[in-house]
Amino acid sequence: MPGSITSDIVKPPSPPRRGGFGGGGEGGGSDNRGSSRRASMTGLMVLLAATTMAFAAFTSAFVVRRGISNDWIGLPMPRVVWANTAILLASSLMLELARRALRSGRRSAFNRFWTAGTALGVLFLIGQAFAWRQLSAAGIFVATNPSSSFFYLLTAAHALHILGGLTALVYVDVQALSLQLGPGKRTAVDVSALFWHFVDGLWLFLMFLFLVWG
Amino acid sequence: MSSPVVIHAHHAPQGFIRKYVFSLDHKVIGIQYYFLALFSVLVGVSLSLLMRFHMIHPEAKVAWFGTLWPTAAQGGIMTPELYLSLMTMHGTIMVFFVLTTAPQGGFGNYFLPLQIGAEDMAFPVLNMLSFWTTLVALGVMMSAFFVQGGAPLAGWTGYPPLSGIGPLAGPGEGLGQTLWIVSIAIFCGASLMGAINFIATIIDLRCQGMSLMRLPLTCWTWFVTAILGLLGFAVLLAAGVLLILDRSAGTSFFIPEGLMVSDQILNHKGGSPLLWQHLFWFFGHPEVYIAILPGMGVTSQLLSTFARKAVFGYRAMVYAILSIGFLGFLVWGHHMFMSGMSPYSAMAFSVLTMAIGVPSAIKTFNWIGTLWGGKIRFTTAMMFALGFVSLFVTGGLSGIFLGQPALDLYFHDTYFVVGHFHMIMGVAAIFGMFAGTFYWFPKMFGRMMNETLGKIHFYVTFLGVYAIFTPMHYLGIAGNPRRYSDFTNFDFLGKLLPVHHFMTQAAYGTAAIQILFFINLFWSMKYGKKAPMNPWDATTLEWTVPSPPPFDNFGGHHPVVHHGPYEYSVPGAPRDFIMQTDPPFDDPSSPNASH
């Protein structure tokens, strides 16, 4: 290519591409699914990066506010959060078992594990509501102390992510139980499970934050 | 032209609502964003004219002021609080709904899929949601004008304690400020959706042969802008949540102890206003690059196209874009030199700030290198791109002064800062948008804009913006503080009033000439000369499809890219441009093959 100063690196041929998550008209061909799956995975990673940044901002506010003030009183952690942590971990484990079952073609096992994982997710939220009730019963509200402000704020922000994740888990569950979870929907399974593991890890991080600095 | 394409392989959605309102088509969404920004810029500029009027006629009685603002402009005289609310809303609307929206949401949405050979964005539904969420944010922001107390007055930076303690702090600090924060939070959500879409689209939907180093520089800038938006808006959203809790839930994240406002001691204790500043500017500085980077991309594209030369140092340009994006996250502290930070921290932020000068200079020299020896076609689009380079250099140079802590101590909160950021972030970015409008209008609307009107508009605007913003540097050196609504009560400021008079007249003139732009824009949509497929003899993929492009962009045909984006005046080629989809040189069917 004489005279060109731009690069001549050619990417390996890739299939024609079309957007994922529906809409925008018909697909671009039989290999549509591959590009849609890739884009969905990229989209998920990018979403997780944004969530990480938001929680990093909350965390830095937490650490700075804890460091500069002399009005911080350690929060008595409601005991139920320990049970909630175990429930959330179990929920992630169920989803992993479900994915493993799906990979080896055991659809009914997938349905059982996935439903169990989803139910444990709902149970976690109920448990978190209990934690809030225990705190408020003890007279600890959002404005009582910066430690309680951060506890309510971070658990609420986390619960919102859990709600988003649960929506995806329920969607997959409904598809699976109504026998509509075809190979095209494996992406939904993987994306929602990965997101769930992320919010699970996020919760462990928040617990660490509460215990070390709270 | 490139290989012919089969048009209309897919059918567009039928019905007005699906086609033009809740459309999933990135082109329609791009135009929606563009018009949202156009509406916002009208509001934003009107507010600035009111401010400029008030600065030179602070005692003027204007009947319709009294009608519009019965409380804040009783008897037709604008109060200082009203001035501050106009300033806050001007800054907010311009930064968020114009500078962030048009270059990325508008042009980016429309042209990114076309330039990378994709049929649409990666997530069309998310794309639609992103636009409509932005519109909701705009509606919420505008509604602040119409609630009790009026619009907020804490500035576009929303600094607490002023923004965090409610109506006690003044009119507009009640519901108005709450609406401001809610609107910004919604806007953050919309921007995050947009960023996810842009990043996934560029990574995963490039057509065959479109390697990263064959991407047009516009795509690179949209990509890096999306990353900045993703990381920045997530932090602003978190900060906004904390601020709203301080206002409405009685928490004390940002409000310190013992604060006495309007003769009342507040209940808050232990919070830090500096915490907000850190969180805000961690977003706020990258926001400058969110506004300006797409303009840089458009400028690179246009200088190459209209100088009929390849972009000088394409790879260096790409690395400069990436470095600007990276360094942009490390310099937020230079907005806070006056906050009492340790001099060592200030020095670190200062050095990092100076470091941004390196990639910025690389870009500027490469633009000049691109022009050097080129066969320049002085179209209106090209004039605006050249104007961008001029404004970027002018605005960038004053940034070197502000990046020095010792000098910033003096310049901080003076008109020097106002002049600096308007030049580099405001006007340069808007010149990028004008350049983009004149360049891509034929593709978007299938007709050409009028070049004579365009050039008159360019010359008056170019001289006008320099006339408005250059004197601000002088005012700043003379010690004129910013955010004051009235200079008449201070002896040393009274002497500067003639300069303010001059700037206000320049602002009137510059705003008036924009009417010519609007006439040109809307007249050309209906009566402009029909645009051919590739009116500028450009090389990128959007010029291989009809003007305007069909619903699915490439008509079911999947483009294959064989060339870089800026192959102009290649020795031995029969034409002075090689389209990205032209067959390779060694292909006998290539129009570029030497026979």
Residues 6+ apart with CB under 8 A from A168: A188, A191, A192, A195, A196
Which residues of chain A make contact with B315, given a CB cutoff of 8 A?
Answer: 7
Q: Which residues of chain B neighbour A157 with C-beta distances below 8 Å?
A: 241
Give Cα B86 distance to the centre of its chain.
Answer: 20
A10 within some domain:
no
Interface test with A, best of B205, B252, B311, B332 (most A CBs within 10 A): B205
* pLDDT of amino acid A30: 32
Dump pLDDT digits (tens) for B1-49: 344 444 444 567 878 888 889 999 999 999 999 999 999 999 999 999 9
Selection from A141, A197, A32, A177 nearest residue B251 by Cα: A141
What is the rounded CA–CA span in Å between residue B338 and residue B481?
15
d(CA B242, nearest CA chain A) in Å: 8
Which B residues, 311 through 370, put their C-beta within 8 Å of a C-beta on chain A?
313-315
CB B235 within 8 A of CB A57: yes
B246 is written with which tokens?
């301080």
8 Å CB contact between B183 and B236:
no
C-alpha distance from B74 to closest chain A C-alpha (Å): 39
Query: Looking at residue B591, what is its pLDDT?
Result: 61
In this predicted model, what pLDDT tens digit does every residue of B445-489 receive, in sequence order? 999 999 999 999 999 999 999 999 999 999 999 999 999 999 988
Closest residue to A20, CB basis, from B122, B207, B252: B122
Instruction: List the single residue in B26, B238, B564 with the smallest CB-CB distance to A7.
Output: B564
* Cβ–Cβ < 8 Å for B565, B214: yes
Chain B residues with CB under 8 Å of A149 CB are 245, 249, 251-253
Q: Do A149 and B209 touch (CB under 8 A)?
A: no
CB of B30 less than 8 A from some CB of A: no
What is the C-alpha separation between B466 and B268, in angstroms, rounded? 46
For B310, residues 6+ apart whose C-beta sits below 8 A from its C-beta are: A4, A5, A6, B304, B370, B564, B566, B567, B568, B569
Q: Residue A180: what pLDDT?
A: 87
Residue B50's alpha-carbon distances to B23, B76, B173, in angstroms, are: 36, 13, 21
More reliable by pLDDT, B54 or B589: B54
Compute the count of residue pairs across chains A and B with CB atoms less than 8 Å apart: 219
Work out the minimum CA distance from A106 to partner chain B, whole angstroms: 31
Topology classification of domain B293-530: Cytochrome C Oxidase; Chain A (1.20.210)
| A20, part of any domain | no
When pLDDT is averaged across residues A121-145 and rounded to a whole number, the result is 97
CB contact under 8 A, A38 and B551: no
Cα B537 to Cα B71: distance, rounded to the nearest angstrom: 57
Between CA B104 and CA B110 the distance in angstroms is 9
Strand partners, B260: B265
Average of per-residue pLDDT across B153-165: 96
B382, containing H or E segment: helix B380-402
- Residue B441 in this model has a pLDDT that exceeds 50: yes
- Give me the architecture of the B27-259+266-271 domain, per CATH: Up-down Bundle (1.20)
Mean pLDDT for B410-424 is 97
Say if A12 falls within a structural domain: no
Contact A6 B207 (CB under 8 A): no
Residues from chain B that touch A68, judged by Cβ atoms under 8 A, are 270, 272
C-beta atoms of B119 and A65 within 8 A: no
- Is the predicted pLDDT of residue A11 greater than 60, yes or no? no
CB-count burial class (<10 Å; 0-12, 13-18, 19+) for B360: buried
- % of chain A with per-residue pLDDT over 90: 76
Rounded Cα–Cα distance for residues B312 and B322 (Å): 17
**Across residues B333-348, what is the average pLDDT?**
95
> What Cα–Cα distance (Å) separates residue B291 from each residue in B121, B220, B344, B404?
21, 14, 30, 23
pTM passes above 0.90: yes
Interchain contact, B235 vs A5, CB within 8 Å: no
Cα separation values, B353 from B228, B329, B344, B373, Å: 17, 10, 14, 33
Q: How confident is the model at residue B328, as a pLDDT?
A: 96
Contact A64 B275 (CB under 8 A): yes
Whole-angstrom distance, CA of residue B453 vs CA of residue B504: 24
* pLDDT tens-digit map of A147-160: 999 999 999 999 99
Q: How confident is the model at residue B590 (pLDDT cuts 50, 70, 90)?
A: low
Interface test with B, best of A148, A149, A160 (most B CBs within 10 A): A149
Please, where are the H alpha helices in chain A? 32-68, 80-103, 107-137, 146-177, 186-213
Reduced to 3 states (helix: H, G, I; strand: E, B; else coil), residue B481 is: strand
Average pLDDT over residues B89-98: 98
Instruction: Quickly count: other Cβ atoms within 10 Å of residue B96's Cβ.
Output: 26
Total domains, chain A: 1
What is the helix, strand, coil percentage profile of chain B, to 5? 65, 0, 35
Residues of B in contact with A60 (CB under 8 A): 278-279
CB contact under 8 A, A6 and B196: no
Q: Name every chain B residue with its beta carbon within 8 A of the beta carbon of A2.
A: 570-572, 585
The answer to whether B237 faces chain A, any CB pair under 8 Å, is yes
Tens digit of each residue's pLDDT (9 = 90 or more) over A14-72: 444 433 333 333 333 334 446 788 999 999 999 999 999 999 999 999 999 999 888 89
- B535 touches B448 (CB < 8 A): yes
Is A115's pLDDT higher than 60? yes
Domain that residue A92 falls in: 32-213
Which residues in chain B have their CB less than 8 angstroms from residue A1's CB?
Answer: 563, 567, 570, 584-585
Between B126, B192, B213, which is nearest A9 by CB? B213
Q: What is the mean pLDDT of residues A85-110?
A: 96
Q: Chain A within 8 Å of B200 (Cβ-Cβ)?
A: yes
pLDDT level of residue A6 (50, 70, 90 thresholds): very low
- Position A79 in a domain: yes
A156, part of any domain: yes
The phi-psi region of residue A139 (left if phi > 0; otherwise alpha if psi is between -120 and 50; otherwise beta) is left
CA nearest to B314 within chain A: A6
Least CB-CB distance to B121: which of A19, A51, A52? A19
Amino acid at B8: H
Cβ within 8 Å, pair B315-A7: yes
pLDDT at B535 exceeding the cut of 90: yes
Q: How far is B133 from chain A (nearest CA, A)?
A: 17
Query: In A, which residues are within 8 Å of B195 by CB distance?
Result: 46, 50
| CATH 1.20.210.10 segments of chain B | 27-259+266-271, 293-530
Q: Give burial (CB, 10 Å; 0-12/13-18/19+) of B308.
A: middle
A38-A198-A196-B253 Cα dihedral, nearest 10 degrees? -120
| Phi, psi dihedrals of residue B530, rounded to the nearest 5° | -60, 135
What's the whole-number average pLDDT of chain B? Answer: 95
State the Cα–Cα distance between residues B15 and B480, nearest whole angstrom.
57
CATH number, domain of A53, equals 1.20.120.80
Confidence tier at A183 by pLDDT (50, 70, 90): confident
Query: CA of A34, closest CA in chain B: separation in Å?
Result: 10
**Percent of chain B, pLDDT > 90?**
91
What is the predicted pLDDT for the residue at B10?
53
CA–CA distance from B17 to each of A19, A139, B20, B27 (Å)? 21, 52, 6, 15
Rounded to whole angstroms, the Cα distance separating B10 from B20 reads: 17
Q: Which residues pair with B577 in a beta bridge?
A: B568
Mean pLDDT of B124-146: 97
- Tokens 């591409």 correspond to A17
**Interval B498-521 mean pLDDT:** 98
